[in-house]
Structure 1
Amino acid sequence: MHIHKGSLYWPSTLQAPERLAPSEKKDTYDVVIVGGGMSGALTAFELIQQGLDVAVFDKRQVATGSTSANTGLLQYSNDIMLHELIEQIGEKNAVEFYRLCLQAMEDLHGVAKKLTIDPEFIYRESIYYASDEHDEARILEEFKTLKKHGFPCDYWNREMLLEKTGIDKPCAIITYGDAEVNPYAFVNGIFKAFEDYGGHIFEYTEVQDIKEDNDMLLIKTSTGDLHAKDVIFTTGYETLPVGERIGADINRSYVIVTEPLDSMPPWYNSAMIWESKRPYLYMRTTVDHRIVIGGLDEPEGEMPLSSERITERGEELKNEIQKLFPELDINIAFAYCATFGESLDNIPFIGEHPQKEHLYYLLGYGGNGTVYSMIGAKILADLLTGKHNPSAHIVALDRTLELEMDGKTVVQ
């Protein structure tokens, strides 16, 4: 499955460190992680710091899958608003999930500070504006809910939003404690630190099968067999080597990155910007004064057959941002299409397989994938070291999905 197509920006910002295969593959590891993207990197780094012997396998070079197409917006708010998530899973679990996301922001910053490769982690505010008058009440309700539960945010009416950002929309929530990152540098930096701790990375090595072998798991790969006590799949939007994808849709989105601007964009504090309608437009800046703009999601997982489609959608994204900022003169430098996954209840899948012991998953489906990856790394570290995690049930693979479809509640 091809998970991106077009010209990617992030790989142009860093020459990935030369990574040689470990001189000797061990016969047995505590944990084998399948997938060398953001989820795999954060999980591997968390586990090796807990004293576990960890190996990571990827069928390509690490950080070149969905990581290369990740737009690097890190936010505690989610694609589903908190007040709507409360209606879906109850106040206690919904608020706890949002608090996990807020804590993950601090945890990601903690990881970034340990790296020798600069991941360009910068704290930013986020501006979440109402796309039209129909969403004004939803935005206000969300602000009240966030404020009630102690989440850092403010509310701007149309006048304040226009004055501070130049955006002429009904209102917006401003959230604090969010951040931007260079995802490609971040993952490469994490894996360098992981190797410094003694971790093993096997690139261009495909995991082909996993079988029980006495009290261990036998892992058959394209370069030989080995054993592990536990296996974690951090395969993102790829086809899973074992089992089936549950409760998720795979879609595609479009992104453009501009040529560097002479000065930073005209909006408030180089904040990250997104909107209430679905699919939504979102944007951020980079350290070299570019703008990253994404959106125009389509309900298909496969990449478009024609590059012209990417060019056309790129021009549409350019037009969308110029509707918000008519005075902005931008030129497209990079344009691409990328696959992304969304769980049906807007929550990631993290935990042990319901029927198969010692097989774990971290599938961070949703617009908050990096934050979900950090949450998952912490939860899995607890589960694999025998610690109780009080939040694990919220994201468990065997949770009941209760969804509203055509006016009826459907349980999956």
Structure 2
Amino acid sequence: MDIRSNEPYWLIKNALTNSYSSLKEDMSAEVLIVGGGITGALIAYKLIKEGKKVVLIDRRDVCNGSSAASTAMLQYEIDAPLHELIEQRGLTCAVASYQNCEKAIFDLKKIVGEIKSDCQFEFKKSVYFSSTKKDVDFLEKEFEARKQHGFKVKWLDKEKLQKLGLIAEAGIESESAAVMDTYKFAGDLLEYCSEKGLTIFDRTELESVKEENESLSAITKSGFKIEVQHLVYCTGYESVETLKEDIVDLKSTYALASEAFRKIPKAFKDHIYWNTSEPYLYFRGTKDGRIIMGGGDENFKNAKKRDALLPKKEKNLTKAFNKCFPDISFELDYSWAGTFGETKDGLPYLGKPDLDKNKHYVLGFGGNGIMFSVMGMDAILNSLHKTPHPYLEYYKFGR
């Protein structure tokens, strides 16, 4: 699957920092991870810490799929608003999902510090805003739900938003959020894991999997075999190629990066932004003084149609930015498109589609995918060892 177009800003900024050889012989391990993006890196980190013998493969160069295209806004706020998620999935699952996404931000920061990654991790405040009066009642319900369940939030009226530099009707400011360079972090984490014993092969594509008694034989496209006890798919949106259950609606999404400002505008010094529109828009700054924005999702995943729309999306997204931040001149420097997916409840899928097989999935779909991947890291051992974990219940297949 062609899951992104153009070279995203992060790839241009970092170039190819990590490269590994392809698989050229048969081998064995305890666990095979398929997918070398941020999700695969996090799962590898957890398993290597536990002393597992782990092999990771990727059909591309590592980190060159969705992780390269991510805008990396790290939030506890899920695509499904809390007050609606409570109605859809119940109080316990909904509130716990928000709480554990918030915890995941801080867990991720600890890993960044441990491996000494220069991924420009920065804590921010998140502003969820409405540009139209019709969504203000919706925002008020969401504000009350978050406040009631202990989240640190502030109500921002029109005047307070204008002081930030944003033209909007109302907004919710959340205390816990962050940004980082996902591509750099994922590459650094894989390098760290490699030094600790992880075996990595890129340009190595999984062709088929055969079940033999208690083990699995993963056959690559080049004909080599990897004998393992467990297989963990960290293949993101490409997982639709291996799953029978229809769990995600794939879309095309677009992102822009501005030219670098001499000094990042005040509005983006301490805040990231996203709005109530459908599809929603989102905005963030970078340490090198750029503004990244995205949105304009379309209900198709066709790569040619997606890429053909990029010039039009550049104009529309720039216009939308100027409407929200009229005092900031957004001069386009880079643009790219990618594949995005939404689940029916905005939540991930973790664990085994078939409880009788040792095939595990960590699929952090949606705008909060990185946080979901951190949560998947916390539950992977339970999935391997067939022991209970709340995440394996909340985010199970067939729900």
Range into which the TM-score falls when normalised by the shorter chain: over 0.9
Are 2:21 and 2:203, in contact at CA under 8 Å, matched by a contact in 1?
no
Deviation of the 1:296 alpha carbon: 0.7
Measured against aligned partners, the alpha-carbon deviations of 1:101-150 in whole angstroms (never above 9, x if no partner) come to 11111111111112243111111101111231111111111111111111
Map of 1:159-170 to 2, 5 A cutoff?
159-163=159-163, 165-170=164-169
2:93 aligned residue: 93
1:271 aligned residue: 271
1:205 is the counterpart of 2:176: no
Residues matched between the structures, number: 398
SS at match of 1:267: helix
Are 2:3 and 2:338, in contact at CA under 8 Å, matched by a contact in 1?
yes
Deviation of the 1:377 alpha carbon: 1.3
1:357 is the counterpart of 2:350: no
Distance 2:307 2:46 in 1: 39
Map of 1:61-80 to 2, 5 A cutoff?
61-80=61-80
Are 1:57 and 1:205, in contact at CA under 8 Å, matched by a contact in 2?
yes
Do the aligned partners of residues 26 and 225 (structure 1) sit closer, same or farther apart at CA in structure 2, a change above 3 Å counting? Answer: closer
Specify the code of the residue in structure 1 equivalent to 2:218.
I
Specify the code of the residue in structure 2 equivalent to 1:179.
A
Specify the code of the residue in structure 1 equivalent to 2:172.
I
Measured against aligned partners, the alpha-carbon deviations of 1:164-214 in whole angstroms (never above 9, x if no partner) come to x12232211111121001011011011011101110111011111111112
Distance 1:184 1:61 in 2: 12
Deviation of the 1:327 alpha carbon: 2.2
1:407 aligned residue: none
Specify the code of the residue in structure 2 equivalent to 1:374.
V
Are 1:261 and 1:330, in contact at CA under 8 Å, matched by a contact in 2?
no
Do the aligned partners of residues 350 and 208 (structure 1) sit closer, same or farther apart at CA in structure 2, a change above 3 Å counting? Answer: same
Specify the code of the residue in structure 1 equivalent to 2:200.
I
SS at match of 2:390: coil
Are 1:207 and 1:241, in contact at CA under 8 Å, matched by a contact in 2?
no
Map of 1:10-409 to 2, 5 A cutoff?
10-21=10-21, 27-163=27-163, 165-223=164-222, 224-240=224-240, 242-267=242-267, 269-305=269-305, 309-385=309-385, 387-399=387-399
TM-score (norm 2): 0.95
Deviation of the 1:226 alpha carbon: 1.7
Measured against aligned partners, the alpha-carbon deviations of 1:314-359 in whole angstroms (never above 9, x if no partner) come to 1211111111122212211101111111112211111112354211
Do the aligned partners of residues 253 and 241 (structure 1) sit closer, same or farther apart at CA in structure 2, a change above 3 Å counting? Answer: closer
Distance 2:89 2:305 in 1: 39
SS at match of 2:207: strand
**Structure 2, gaps ≥5 residues long:** none
TM-score (norm 1): 0.92
Bigger mean CA offset, 267-276 vs 341-350: 267-276
Distance 1:188 1:299 in 2: 31
Bigger mean CA offset, 148-157 vs 282-291: 148-157
Specify the code of the residue in structure 2 equivalent to 1:183.
T
Are 1:209 and 1:241, in contact at CA under 8 Å, matched by a contact in 2?
no
Measured against aligned partners, the alpha-carbon deviations of 1:291-317 in whole angstroms (never above 9, x if no partner) come to 001011100112244855212211211
Distance 2:182 2:115 in 1: 13
Do the aligned partners of residues 18 and 277 (structure 1) sit closer, same or farther apart at CA in structure 2, a change above 3 Å counting? Answer: closer
Distance 2:318 2:334 in 1: 12
Distance 1:307 1:10 in 2: 18
Distance 1:304 1:272 in 2: 31
SS at match of 2:185: helix
Distance 1:126 1:301 in 2: 29
Specify the code of the residue in structure 2 equivalent to 1:185.
K
Measured against aligned partners, the alpha-carbon deviations of 1:219-263 in whole angstroms (never above 9, x if no partner) come to 111341021111011111115453325221000111110110122
Specify the code of the residue in structure 2 equivalent to 1:192.
E
Do the aligned partners of residues 153 and 302 (structure 1) sit closer, same or farther apart at CA in structure 2, a change above 3 Å counting? Answer: same
**Structure 1, gaps ≥5 residues long:** 400-412
Are 2:350 and 2:391, in contact at CA under 8 Å, matched by a contact in 1?
no
